[in-house]
Structure 1
Amino acid sequence: MGKLRLEPKVKPLVTGEEYENLLSTLRDAQADAGDNYIYFDLEENEKAKDVKKAFLFVAEKEGISVVIRQQRGVNSLVFSFKDDQGAGGTSGGSGRMSAEEARDRILSALKNAKGSLQKSEILKDTGVSSSTWNIRIKELIDSGEVKRDGERRDTRYTYAG
């Protein structure tokens, strides 16, 4: 006669040990984020998408408000932590930014700039995704809060407030 065997219907995203390692890394990164840019360098065999998913899983479970994105051209992740956890920030800890927060971040970057900025500079400073940028910058230009100068790669943006 056979033997009863149990297997979970859904494979856990991370093991208990991996969870603790990821949590420790997130807490260390969060503690140092005030005065530093935070990067997580991946091993050659690691996929950024999978590691990002694991970090976001742990962050959501622990209530850590973080935006994680892959850095282009290198095998690294970039962490951006929010000081005011949950207050108008990311929805449900999923790393997704509200429309209002994206507009506020763009405006803040432009207000604090000593001159005009290019799209790439604003995206780097704000953590806003390129797809979100396209929608929000149009809204800000249409409302008169942002001024656009130039075309294509030479386009620069200034706060018009």
Structure 2
Amino acid sequence: MEAAGGVDILINNAGVPGFNASIEEIDYAAYQRLYDIHVWGCFAATRAVLPEMKERRFGRIVNIASNRGQVGFERSSHYASAKAASIGLAKSWARELAPHGILVNALAPGVVRSAMTLGYGEEALHDEAQTNLVKRWAEPEEIAAWLVFVTGPDGGFMTGQVLTPNGGDPIVGI
């Protein structure tokens, strides 16, 4: 943090796929791995930047979740629940940290073309994209634009929210 001159924005984006597994196929090691990375990773990174953000009375934190964290997923309940936990952390931290000038939100995208999702294969990515209303996946640049918005000046009145660029798959929230 010293070399960078401080941290104004933290994007908690560490993640691994949950693979397609039923509850009977998910062992403790697979479950714990997802929670260590998705949940504890958010927690540890956030704790690392808080002292400086609190001192400066400014900060923006975004937890990258998933639309599956809002609606569940029948073939990777451990992944969906870990992403739901990252949403819960963002909402709780928004309440806790707003008095210190720190805004916290979650971004819960639908299917995004990335190295991780392409690990399932181009055909699987295409098939999943067909479940949303716009019949395509998001490109990483589209998700980055949401992050620029919520962490920039235009997002200065937004905290404790879940942004869901998901092509309408599913339509959640109000």
TM-score where L is the length of structure 2 = 0.27
Q: Which has the larger radius of gyration?
A: 1
Asked which structure has the greater RCO (Cα within 8 Å, sep 6+), the reply is 2
Greater share of strand residues, 1 or 2? 1
What TM-score does the superposition give when structure 1 sets the normalisation length? 0.28
